Amino acid sequence: MFTKILIANRGEIACRVIATAKKMGIKTVAVYSDADKEARHVALADEAVHIGPAPSRESYLQAEKIIAACKQTGAQAVHPGYGFLSENEAFAKRCEDEGIAFIGPKAFSIAAMGDKIASKKLALEAKVNTIPGYNDAIAGPEQAVEIAKGIGYPVMIKASAGGGGKGLRVAFNDKEAFEGFASCQNEARNSFGDDRIFIEKFVQEPRHIEIQVLGDSHGNVIYLNERECSIQRRHQKVIEEAPSPFISDATRKAMGEQAVQLAKAVKYQSAGTVEFVVGKDQDFYFLEMNTRLQVEHPVTECITGLDLVELMIRVAAGEKLPLTQADVKRDGWAIECRINAEDPFRNFLPSTGRLVRFAPPEQSMWQGDTAHLQGVRVDTGVQDGGEIPMFYDSMIAKLIVHGRDRNDAIAKMREALNGFVIRGVSSNIPFQAALLAHPKFVTGDFNTGFIAENYGKGFFAEDVPHDDAAFLTAMAAFVRRKSRERAAGMSGQLPGYAVDAGKDYVVVTLDAAGNNRYTPVHVDEFEGETGSAQVKVGASSYVIRSKSRLNDIAITGTVNGKSFTAQVERGTPKNPLALRVQHNGTRIDALVMSPRMAELHKLMPHKAPPDMSRYVLSPMPGLLVDVAVVPGQKVQAGERVAVIEAMKMENVLFAAADGVVGKVLAAKGESLSVDQAIVEFV
């Protein structure tokens, strides 16, 4: 076994590998860029080596620097994590040549699976289902009909040079195939000057389901069940779960066995994932193989009780797999939510900056620990007060839960999200909460088009359903009443001027447009029972009991006998006297006051926000990489004004209307904050 390994990665996956290495008694070496010198993975490792400037192409993608760090520290093996150099055939080969063990598959396996066309041919040879199709030029519509019949309807007729939805038709019968071929050919000729057409099977209501495989250097390969990864936004996975709520045991077995056949065909040694597209009738077809550890590997660890990172290390050290296919368990249900630094209400634009507060929910499962399951686990590479840099991807953490069954896992995840405190940057937690509460997600009735179908026009505050929105009003009143009780109990108050906690309040739910909602609330405390009260909101009554302190953001307790976790904080960016209450993804900003004060508050005029229509504002924090205008320049609506870059994402800003540039307020190369003015028009 190795005595020291180097982790050629950063963030949560580097921390994940370190956790297992420590359990195995193996020393670890971290590598870091300028942006990561204070990062969590650097603090956790036994040694750390600086490998260059912040951009990954100058640091984490520099194979030479990684190899040099191994030699400098005496590391015998490299774990590449995922992303960066993890599927780089040349890097794996270079490690092998230098006598450094690559904790992953052999270079020839990476090469075989890295080429999309070659991997499909290999899959066909290994008798793995691939999407049926006809890839040679088709002579005419009559031949197209014969081919379509052979493949089986429905089929997709596609222009070879197609793109942007042009030259694409779906046919469900002979007539549609005949007409669709002619239409596609004409469209392709006119749009691309290339009328070559091919036909392949159209998978209806497709799901993205992947099989985890594990192989060793002794020829043994097993599959560790499947993961359901169909909840995706722009081809990026958002929620993953294991097992899938869709496939049958027979389909699972058939997919698993085909995945093993493919892995054996490329002499696969390590953890890898075979991805399939699965149709509504459980017909499944090979997509690609990921020759590395996957982001969503923890859900497989939960249901199998295996530490995948440990097994990767053992296989790389030449050991045999310690289990056979018959030993693989499938216990309970696991779900993972990717917690990203992005603003879901601003079209998921990246959000960078300092984590003013970072307090994940309490953990009962840990990385590398397979003894404590049926709980909550947080995989992260950040800590309270840390920085989310603009140079890398937007994932802050992975929140993983393991339940008895799917409903138990969903309930655990919703409660864990309620207690996940992130301040200083925006996160996608409200979006995750909305997805988990969606009736179609709860019943398992979804496919890869789920987010596009349900949130196609964007995500808005009203898209977050709450089964009892009055509870947020009750929580605001409860916290305010407890604060008043404490104030009333302070000694030394002047007679006649002592604080009266009172029982009747009005909760003013604040609205940005000034359409505030005024809700009368009555609060009764229970004699001799601190931290409890009965709150009446209209016809609803809430008995709330909580031992949380007044300055805790995450408040836990029971409401009408059921446990809850909610977030309550004092002061909002616009009103230091307001309370911000969050629960199940829904948020309100509220003032809690006496009935007389509420009457007076209603009379206050609404102060409209300043008119910023003359300015081009930065929609996200990021680096200003280009300003395309100068003072005095005439600009037309739709003309490019500036380019901002953050987290591998480039955002081009365009002029909303015709105008003349008055001032350029930010310089190229400047780091911008959200809503910072870049250009002012006159």
Peptide bond into 495 cis (omega under 30): no
Residue 60: name the closest of 43, 93, 82 by CA: 82
Residue 334: name the closest of 253, 226, 438, 255 by CA: 226
Which of 288, 319, 387, 680 does the annotation list as catalytic? 288
Compute the radius of gyration of the chain from its Cα atoms.
29
- The 3-state secondary structure of 282-335, one letter per residue: CCEEEEEEECCCCCCHHHHHHHHCCCHHHHHHHHHCCCCCCCCHHHCCCCCEEE
Beta bridge partners of 9: none
- Are 34 and 53 in contact by the 8 Å Cβ rule? The answer is yes
Q: What gap in Å lies between CA 100 and CA 393, rounded to an integer?
A: 28
- Are 151 and 200 in contact by the 8 Å Cβ rule? The answer is yes
Kindly write down the DSSP assignment for every residue of 407-469, as one continuous string. Answer: HHHHHHHHHHHHT-EEESS--SHHHHHHHHH-HHHHHT---TTHHHHHSTT---GGGS--TTT
- Are 127 and 258 in contact by the 8 Å Cβ rule? The answer is yes
End-to-end CA distance of the chain: 69
- Assign 177 to helix, strand or coil: helix
Q: What is the dihedral of CA 99, 7, 19, 83, to 10 degrees?
A: -120
φ, ψ dihedrals at 222, nearest 5°:
-130, 160
681: left (phi over 0), alpha (psi -120 to 50) or beta: beta
Q: Can you read off the two tokens belonging to residue 466?
A: 């709450």
Q: List all residues 6 or more positions away from 416 whose beta carbon is below 8 Å from its beta carbon.
A: 361, 376, 399, 401
Residue 217: name the closest of 314, 127, 296 by CA: 314
Look up residue 398 and give its DSSP letter: E
Beta bridge partners of 523: 535
Residue 393: name the closest of 676, 49, 81, 92 by CA: 81
Q: List all residues 6 or more positions away from 337 whose beta carbon is below 8 Å from its beta carbon.
A: 238, 239, 398, 399, 413, 417, 432, 436
The question of whether 288 is a catalytic residue gets the answer: yes
Q: What gap in Å lies between CA 287 and CA 469, rounded to an integer?
A: 43
Catalytic residue ranges = 288
